[in-house]
Amino acid sequence: MSNILIRGGTVVNADQAFQADVLTQDGKIIAVGPNLQAPAGATVVDAGGQYVMPGGIDPHTHMQLPFMGTTTMDDFYTGTAASLAGGTTSIIDFVIPNPQQPLMEAYQTWRGWAEKSAADYGFHVAITWWDESVKRDMGTLVQQEGVNSFKHFMAYKNAIMCDDETLVNSFKRALELGAMPTVHAENGELVYLLQQEVAKRGITGPEGHPLSRPPTVEGEAANRAIAIAEVLNVPIYVVHVSCIESAEAIARARARGQRVYGEVLAGHLTVDDSVYRHPDFAIAAAHVMSPPFRPKAHQEALWRGLQSGSLHTTATDHCTFCAAQKAAGKDNFAKIPNGCGGVEERMAVVWDEGVNTGRLTPSEFVAVTSANTAKLFNLYPNKGSVSVGADADIVVWDPAGTKTLSAKTQFSKGDYNIFEGRTVTGIPSHTLSQGKLVFVQGDLRAERGVGRYVKRPAFNANFTASKLRADVMAVGAVKR
């Protein structure tokens, strides 16, 4: 038996915060309450003056992703080790089949790659093409493999882009299966056209990247995906909402009663588009990701989305490429591999910019860093809650601790940090994963291969309600 007693802290869940000790045993939380006794041999963690919160869940990472002719720097081990150092104890990554590749083959490949993970993980599976086998394999993934969400890239033309026919077929199938359709919302046709037009104006550097992907391009795709979901009566989750246009599309749909959910990245909340005009190519290129960083006014809108409840989760889209990889687009911004890091910094950045500024309470912080993701992707309350019976995935959070974020001190393999030089107040002092201390005051004890694949069962309530509503509202034939 292995026990850890976390003593003297304030437990923070999404619904309440209270003074309590937390006792774990063999990977689970077995008691939460005042003045708990330490069993013989227990390790005691002093959490005095600190918060005891559910470990973060990052619902959007790309470890070891082959993308745009290269593969990300962080693999499933280094990426999840870095996440543990930042207080994130689970990730949901993406299986991305090539067009025409059987889904199950891609899924097995990613499962193999992920075996080296140091933290628990799950997968969304991307639908990049359509035929009967894809439809069948979606069923197998949901019913046998614990995949309850499917991703659709509305951008990346001539690669993994999903057209409207595939979107409609896949959303319909997802509804049948009780699985959440998710979208990367950018109009891939417009991006493709704008890339050529920007290049014709002689713009070949990273400053061309945001010009080829303006907010309207994202807003159009978000509105389209939401409208398709509305017609089909299926809930929908929009990943990496970066701008006012798509945040408003979600808010409007929710105001109409539609079940639409939005994710926002720590980077989009805090980094603006001035980075693309940096005179050093390497620095500007290091920020090339899609959707791009936006002018500051958009950041405030994203925060308001989290505050008002029209955006639900925070993620990172952790997808690290080093300077040598980014240099593939030295003469053409459209060839710079898209992606940035952040899995290690998300919790601290969202705390520092969210809780320390009064935008979020500690409980709201828990909602947007773990609990909402756990609920939306059916991991709750095993994950996303400090309660008896939950997994002992816990972060002990020192609200007075400070750290200056930097590529020089990060655990992640990337050679750049989009939060470089930012000093945050509020950092993890301890991280527990599966009831083991994996990070203690700066000392990372991540273990390769101990992370578990977490099955996520299909949904019931949201989908049943959406179907019921459709039936109630259905207009029948006229009897003549």
Kindly list the residues in this chain that would bind ligand URP in the complex (CB under 6 A). 62, 184, 289-290, 317, 319, 338-339
Q: Which of 137, 147, 81, 84 is nearest to 111 (CA)?
A: 147
Q: What is the chain's alpha carbon radius of gyration, rounded to the nearest angstrom?
A: 22
Judged by CB, which is closer to Zn ion: 184, or 268? 184
324 binds, among Zn ion, ligand URP, none (CB under 5 to 8 A by kind): Zn ion
339 binds, among Zn ion, ligand URP, none (CB under 5 to 8 A by kind): ligand URP
Span near Zn ion by CB under 5 A; candidates 110-118, 294-302, 322-330, 472-480: 322-330
Q: Is 58 in the site for Zn ion (CB under 5 A)?
A: no
Quote the tokens at residue 351.
């705390």
195 binds, among ligand URP, Zn ion, none (CB under 5 to 8 A by kind): none
The residues that bridge with 150 in the sheet, in sequence order, are: 125, 181
Span near Zn ion by CB under 5 A; candidates 49-57, 323-331, 361-369, 385-393: 323-331
Q: How far is the CB of 209 from Zn ion (least distance, A)?
A: 14
Q: What's the rounded Cα separation, in Å, for the pair 375 and 362?
A: 18
Q: What is the dihedral of CA 315, 225, 307, 421, to 10 degrees?
A: 40
231 binds, among Zn ion, ligand URP, none (CB under 5 to 8 A by kind): none
Judged by CB, which is closer to ligand URP: 289, or 334? 289
269 binds, among Zn ion, ligand URP, none (CB under 5 to 8 A by kind): none
CA atoms within 13 A on the CB side of 469: 16
Q: What values do phi and psi take at 356, rounded to 5?
A: -70, -15
In total, the chain counts a number of residues equal to 480
Q: Which of residues 302-321 bind Zn ion (CB under 5 A)?
A: 317
Q: Are the C-beta atoms of residues 378 and 459 closer than 8 Å to each other?
A: yes
Judged by CB, which is closer to ligand URP: 247, or 432? 247
From candidates 17, 322, 327, 440, binder to Zn ion by CB under 5 A: 322
Q: Name every residue whose Cβ is closer than 8 Å to that of residue 287 and which is 6 or more positions away in sequence.
A: 206, 271, 275, 276, 293, 340, 418
Judged by CB, which is closer to ligand URP: 327, or 444? 327
Q: Are the C-beta atoms of residues 387 and 33 closer than 8 Å to each other?
A: no
Site string for Zn ion, 161-200 (x = CB under 5 A): -----------------------x----------------
CA atoms within 13 A on the CB side of 340: 29
212 binds, among ligand URP, Zn ion, none (CB under 5 to 8 A by kind): none
289 binds, among ligand URP, Zn ion, none (CB under 5 to 8 A by kind): ligand URP
44 binds, among Zn ion, ligand URP, none (CB under 5 to 8 A by kind): none
Judged by CB, which is closer to ligand URP: 184, or 456? 184
Q: How far is the CB of 217 from ligand URP (least distance, A)?
A: 13
Which residue number places its CB atom closest to ligand URP?
A: 338
322 binds, among ligand URP, Zn ion, none (CB under 5 to 8 A by kind): Zn ion
Q: Which of residues 74-103 bind Zn ion (CB under 5 A)?
A: none
Residue ranges of alpha helices (H) inside 93-214 are 103-114, 132-145, 164-177, 188-200, 208-211
Judged by CB, which is closer to ligand URP: 122, or 362? 122
Q: How far is the CB of 247 from Zn ion (least distance, A)?
A: 16
Q: Are the C-beta atoms of residues 244 and 285 closer than 8 Å to each other?
A: no
Judged by CB, which is closer to Zn ion: 44, or 324? 324
Q: How far is the CB of 351 from Zn ion (least distance, A)?
A: 23
Q: How far is the CB of 291 from ligand URP (least distance, A)?
A: 8
338 binds, among Zn ion, ligand URP, none (CB under 5 to 8 A by kind): ligand URP
Burial of residue 324, with CB atoms counted within 10 A of its CB: 0-12 exposed, 13-18 middle, 19 or more buried = exposed
Cα 18 vs. chain centroid, distance in angstroms? 28
Q: How far is CA 309 from CA 37, 247, 313, 345, 460, in A?
A: 39, 11, 10, 23, 22
The residues that bridge with 52 in the sheet, in sequence order, are: 11, 396
Judged by CB, which is closer to ligand URP: 288, or 395? 288
Q: What's the rounded Cα separation, in Å, for the pair 220 and 189?
A: 11
Q: Is 465 in the site for Zn ion (CB under 5 A)?
A: no
Q: What is the dihedral of CA 296, 299, 300, 305, to 10 degrees?
A: 160
From candidates 324, 400, 465, 468, binder to Zn ion by CB under 5 A: 324
Residue ranges of alpha helices (H) inside 146-201 are 164-177, 188-200
- Chain residues that interact with Zn ion, rule: CB under 5 A: 184, 317, 322, 324
